[in-house]
Chains A and B, each alone.
Chain A
Amino acid sequence: MKLAIASGKGGTGKTLVATNLFYALQQLNYQVVLVDCDAEAPNDMVFFKGEKIKYFYVHQEIPVINEKKCKFCSKCHEYCNYNAIFILPDLKVIKVIEDLCHGCGACDVACDFNAISTKPVPIGSITKYAIENNTFIIEASMNTGVFSPVPIINAAIKEAKNEKIVILDSPPGTSCPFINTVAEADFVVLVTEPTPFGLSDLKQSIDTLKIIDKPYGVVINRSGIGDTEIYNYLKQENIKLLLEIPFDKMIAFYYSNGELISQLEYQWADKFVSMFNFIIDQYGNSNN
């Protein structure tokens, strides 16, 4: 069972849900792995202590042009769909703009003069931590200024491919990084708050999940602030409300200190486990 925890925008409590669910399952001796796919701001490890057991870089292949072999024919420039090759044939100038390169390999295929080779450039890293009770956290982390976290996210999820229960803490938004993460999940938990911004982001996330046909349910965080529009929407659309977490300065305070409510107040661990059991019951398949 792969469970993605997601939200249209950051800061709605996605990390709160992912870390507490992980903790609660870990305490019941479930073999669970948490993958922090929010590679631009990975924060799950703020809440846990663990031993680093694996670390590696994720690379992207960037072309290198051998100017001695290059005939300045411009074919590679035409093949590059990202405008990452700058060429002035008359002046015999050619350059790869590394920040724009997606590593697709098209220029290499284009060149008839064998002038292009590649070099690996690190774009981020994966760290695996051993936490208590034989459970693990895998963290994806992107280097600043990289064009897309997707290859790093994919590498992190791949690290967990043989695990039975995987929680994916997904990146915010509904663009490529989000879709790539939730595409791997069997079920998506959308975390939102009962405000107009929260509702608008939720609707956008749901539209996206409908396109790729993923089952989902909703957790409302900071209930009590805001209004009731979101509840009307869930009822109207017949969307399952999985859990409500009230707005409570204590919960916010624990969170700010990197502490887990499931550890401090046991009823919260139970609530996260019940949510998990409900999802398994309804959406888990037998071979998992």
Chain B
Amino acid sequence: MRLPPHIGEGITQTLIMRTKRLLPALALALMPANVIAAPAAPPPPPGVAACTGCHPKSGGDAAIPQLAGHSADDIIAAMKAFRSGTRPATVMDRIAKGFSDDEIRVIAAWYAAQK
């Protein structure tokens, strides 16, 4: 099995040679717009990476409570209650204890902004 030529070394070389003749600005202008478009949404804040494996940004599994679209206040209140032990939990008590107020606020705001 061979890879398509565009990711092979040979083709890249010829493209480098061809591109060399273009002025950088011109080369840029020739590139399709979507290649240089900025990311559509800012990347999620760092704490969120730890959450989405169970609480995805949309959809998800009925067995795990969904967070996307809930109000930030609700999520903050739940996390703080898990952390202090006032809300019974299966695993979230153990996890919530690892997050600070600031981190919880940022994560909650991100989920609240997902539709």
The answer to whether A and B assemble together is no
